Structure 1
Amino acid sequence: MLARIFPDRFVPVLFATILLASLLPVRGTAVPVAQGVSTAAIILLFFLNGVRLPRDEVLHGIRNWKLQGAGLGFCFVVMALLGLAAQVATAAFLPAALALGFLFLGILPSTVQSATAASSMAGGNVAASVVAAALLNLIGVIASPLLFAALAGSAGAIHGAAALRIVAILLLPFVAGQVVQRWLRPWVLAHRGAATFMDRTSIAIAVYVAFSAAVVGGIWHQLDAGEIAITFAAVAAMLALAFCGAWALGGLLRLRHAERITLLFAGAQKSIAVGAPLAATLFPPATAGVVLVPILVYHMAQLVISAWIAPGLARRAEV
């Protein structure tokens, strides 16, 4: 029965992770340790991706301007406009900072590890997913605060250290994996199960650490039932438009099935890993927590949706 409800066994793991974070969130001195574990998992994930992806596929991913351009346009233009529309639609019903959170959600870059892992599980072009994750996150360091300033009418800045962190945890491990590919790739390909376990474990750790911070910040006590319902409804609308829009755009551009899958997850997913530090930079602490609510809800929901639809996409790719 559970297999019918959850097409992928990772979905109930995500729900269990959220429940665990709600009941036993990371607190105090354990927070830096948990964040370090999450960062280490991401580094290992991209190192393994670098080891197992042939260089010709990587170079093809970089040269695929149609796919990468579509990902950039959808992530930073289409999604930003969707976020702005959601802000305007909810402004009369939600606190100003909470409504502003939908615009903030729209201007964020895609996820790092989960978009690549979802694309891999769905049979997408993993090399192009790695390239897309790198481009979207590196460009997002500059583009996200500028887009927010342009659309919200307020200035924002982000530390150069954030850009260095993206390079350190995403690009450098991947390059290192490419360097040692000749020696380690046969072993990694022979242990695909371990690589898949690492993909999913990285996502679960990121969810637990991110949602723990929200629980400690009082996410369950700051909003009344009506505001929570409106927030969830608006997030659901954005999710539906994002996933359907990214998939439709891939069809309009006549992308191959594997590349269409890559665009789906790279374009529709949004990163709490970038959103949290960016919010802390742009807003005072009291406001940042409320602004983050939409991206927290969206982030959790996109992982469940991605895990739910990935097996079906993989089966279609095999036909």
Structure 2
Amino acid sequence: MASLRRFRLDPFLTALVALPVIATLLPARGGVAEALDTATIAAICLLFFLHGAKLAPSQTMAGFARWRFQLLVLGSTFVVFPVLGLLITLAPESVLSPVLATGFLFLCILPSTVQSSIAFTSVARGNVALAVSSASISNVLGVVITPVLAALLIGSQVHITPESILGIIGQLVVPFVAGQLLHRRIGAWLGRHRILVSIVDQGSVLLVVYVAFSTGVTQGLWTVVPPAQLLTVLGVSVILLAVVMSLFAGAGKVFSLPRADRVVLFFCGSKKSQVSGLPMAFLLFPPAQVGIMVLPLMVFHLIQLLVCAVIAKRVGRAYIEPELQPQPA
């Protein structure tokens, strides 16, 4: 019974797994789909506004002051990952279809996560303040870097237009900056009501996942992606995550980072943002391709959450347990 009590299904992860099934059986169509598109934009704007309001501008500036570490994280996110993404695109078509390979490349040029990177860093007893600044800087700069990398590496398959760039800035950067400006007024209140940010964070992700899969299903997603290819996406995602985690764990030791900073590099460097990635996909890719393009992101995101949750708990427990040992008299 004790083991059963310890094994609890996370409602958010359960919903992430269930929503693609629900969207497959009951995809949004017509007026409902249009209303959900509008609600998705509003939810993403609200999410980035709350993240900006919750983060003190002084923390943002302190993060920029650690510029060497920030360059290390940004290099992991926007150099190492894209190189691995390009290697994935070299896979034979018999192994991975070109569209799914491009989806992996899109995944690899996205910024790091914010909420989960900070949460896992905290659980693992890492440098939380540095994680806040690193993840936030990655997302803010990613608004510019990701479209540029998409144009350079993906080319004709993305639609980089002034409207798409303005859409990304309007949905992600402007709300974040507005939140920063209002931090003094509502930052403390948000600190006391963290559940609100959590609900918006998880709710916006779930909404965008449902809309993305609904769009894919109505465009014939599962006729293009057979079960064998879905298993391949799962396998490639596991391998990609294992490679980047090994690389960044080793990099922390090579650069002789303090333990708390190594934790930040490990979690911020190895994770990719579904919150930023899905809105960008809707703005950068044709509607008929969105569902396929984001499928690797969906699978990788779920795997990274499950794996990082286990690792963070073990790393945090390993850090605490020596302190709990009785000291010799």
- Asked whether the two chains share a fold, i.e. TM above 0.5, the reply is yes
2:57 maps to 55
The correspondence of residues 6-155 of structure 1 with structure 2, limited to 5 A, is 8-106=10-108, 108-110=109-111, 115-122=113-120, 123=122, 124=128, 125-149=131-155
Query: Which of the residues 166, 172, 175 maps onto 1:173?
Result: 175
The correspondence of residues 240-279 of structure 1 with structure 2, limited to 5 A, is 240-253=242-255, 254=257, 257=260, 260-261=263-264, 264-265=267-268, 267-270=270-273, 271-279=277-285
Change (3 A) 1:308 1:140: same
1:138-157 alpha-carbon deviations (Å, 9 max, x no partner):
211112221334xxxx6865
Change (3 A) 1:307 1:221: farther
Task: Tell me whether 189-198 or 305-314 shows the greater mean CA deviation.
Answer: 305-314
Change (3 A) 1:204 1:96: closer
- Higher alpha-carbon Rg: 2
2:326 maps to none
Shift of the alpha carbon at 1:30?
Answer: 1.9
The alignment's TM-score, normalised by the length of structure 2, stands at 0.78
2:286 maps to 280
Unaligned runs of 5+ in 2: 123-127, 324-329
Q: Which amino acid aligns with 1:264?
A: F
Q: Which amino acid aligns with 1:110?
A: P
Q: Which amino acid aligns with 2:67?
A: W
User: How many residue pairs end up in the alignment?
Assistant: 307
1:229 maps to 231
Q: Quick one: distance in 2 between partners of 1:207 and 1:70? A: 30
Q: Could you tell me whether the CA contact under 8 Å between 1:46 and 1:173 is conserved in 2?
A: yes
Q: Which amino acid aligns with 1:57?
A: Q
The alignment's TM-score, normalised by the length of structure 1, stands at 0.80
Task: Tell me whether 241-250 or 1-10 shows the greater mean CA deviation.
Answer: 1-10
Q: Quick one: distance in 2 between partners of 1:301 and 1:202? A: 19
Q: Could you tell me whether the CA contact under 8 Å between 1:243 and 1:268 is conserved in 2?
A: no
